[in-house]
Amino acid sequence: MTSAVSSSWAGLVDDLITEEVLPQQWRAAFLAVPREVFIPDVIWRQVGDWLVPLRRADDPEEWLRRAYGSGYVVTQVDDGTPVGCEGRGWVPTSSASRPDIVALMLAAGRVEPGMRVLEIGTGTGYSAALLAHQLGPENVTTIEIDPELAARAQAALATAGYHKVTVITGDGAQGYPTRGPFDRVLSTAAAPQVPYAWVTQTRPGGLIVTPWNSPYQPAGLLSLTVAPDGTATGGLVNTTISFMQLRDQRIHRATIAEVVRDTDVPDISDTDLHASHLCNSPDARFAIERQVPHCEWEYVPASSGDGRWCMWFLDSATRSWARFDYRPDTERWPVHQFGPRRLWDKVTAAYRWWESAGRPPATQWRFTITADRQNVELQAMAEQCLVVSDHLPAP
């Protein structure tokens, strides 16, 4: 690392501390762990719709700038087999997370010396190295589903002096009972359904911290405390960060073309409810997601440049859709709806419920994980209590 890169990285770390994103006690680990050992020689950058490789040997300065930058670094695309022509990739499937998000997760995990931690999603091995620096490598177990990534991370950990970290190739949704119970399970892949194995492998009083997302509210960080009765309860501590998902919990985001056909004959109505209310606030989105599962939305600006745009609501399973057409010169807008699920009606009813409930923040919803269920209910609302259960997928 050049001295310029080193001092800009130290500045970035100090900014995270000043902004109270990174607890002071992590400063030494962030400065000691050599990030470039963990970032592979080939990383990926967005060019138009595609991810294209950036090789360290071709542009060492740019590579180093990204490795020590404030953004995330895509380190694998399309599960290791780029789907585009000329080796271009479509979907990022592994990355070194943004330093502020790594910091936020470690802070949410309240990781203290002496603890034993299970990390789900080794990726580059960088977070595991930070944990190893802080806790001692023998207290860190990390699982990566992709064998090539696991092998690479293990080699990087050894190069950086953390060869005693236990790196497992396997499905992190199963945890790793052999090394449990853990004080903390920290997942760096999103788990819309928190695997119960994480609960059984965390000691009572311990924490599970995992990104969480859903089609309608695609961001969040969940913190759960494990109780002696074998359940875990908690809620969202952040509603803006988004992660790639556990492989077997990937949410397929349908495209408009997949759901909508030219031959569809929609019902047409109009509304004075501006669609931005339904999609802008994470708190509203969370409440809508709870009541209208399997619905996603997509904003499409018009190419005409006259201020028009559309908001689509889509459910690919039932091939239902709704479209809100915005134009600036009116205060009532047309809505088209098609299919067995009247998505506009459902989404707006859920939004009105959220408004009438006093606009509860997403952080006010309580998650409870039991062996067969993930309950999500709004706290402190005895009369208007809304409980939504998600059944866990069969093991």
Ligand X SMILES: C[S@@+](CC[C@H](N)C(=O)[O-])C[C@H]1O[C@@H](n2cnc3c(N)ncnc32)[C@H](O)[C@@H]1O
In this chain, which stretch among 167-175, 296-304, 305-313, 343-351 interacts with ligand X, using CB under 6 A? 167-175
| Residues 244-303, interacting with ligand X (CB under 6 A) | 244, 246-247
**Nearer to ligand X among residue 98 and residue 366 (C-beta):** 98
What minimum distance in Å lies between the beta carbon of 255 and ligand X? 23
**Nearer to ligand X among residue 37 and residue 189 (C-beta):** 189
What minimum distance in Å lies between the beta carbon of 94 and ligand X? 3
Q: For residues 377 and 233, is the Cβ–Cβ distance under 8 A?
A: no
| Residues 200-239, interacting with ligand X (CB under 6 A) | none
What minimum distance in Å lies between the beta carbon of 79 and ligand X? 8
* Catalytic status, residue 304: no
Polymer length of the chain: 395
Longest CA pairwise span in the chain (Å): 65
Phi–psi pair at 358, nearest 5 degrees: 90, 25
| Residues 108-127, interacting with ligand X (CB under 6 A) | 120-121, 123-124, 126-127
Q: Report the alpha-carbon distance of residue 362 to residue 215 in Å, rounded.
A: 15
| Residues 181-200, interacting with ligand X (CB under 6 A) | 188-189
Q: Report the alpha-carbon distance of residue 9 to residue 69 in Å, rounded.
A: 7
What minimum distance in Å lies between the beta carbon of 182 and ligand X? 15
**Nearer to ligand X among residue 156 and residue 295 (C-beta):** 156
Of 50, 54, 97, 135, the residue at the interface with ligand X (CB under 6 A) is: 97
**Nearer to ligand X among residue 127 and residue 139 (C-beta):** 127
299-312: b (≥16 Cβ within 10 Å) or e = eeeeeeeeeebbbb
Q: Does 134 bind ligand X (CB under 6 A)?
A: no
x/- string (CB under 6 A) for ligand X, residues 137-166? ------xxxx--x-----------------
What minimum distance in Å lies between the beta carbon of 47 and ligand X? 21
**Nearer to ligand X among residue 105 and residue 275 (C-beta):** 105
CB atoms within 10 A of CB 76: 26
Rounded to the nearest 10 degrees, how much is the dihedral formed by the CA atoms of 238, 239, 242, 244?
80
What minimum distance in Å lies between the beta carbon of 265 and ligand X? 41
Catalytic residue among 94, 95, 97, 223: 97
Q: Which residues are catalytic?
A: 97
Residues that bind ligand X (CB under 6 A): 93-97, 120-121, 123-124, 126-127, 143-146, 149, 171-173, 188-189, 243-244, 246-247
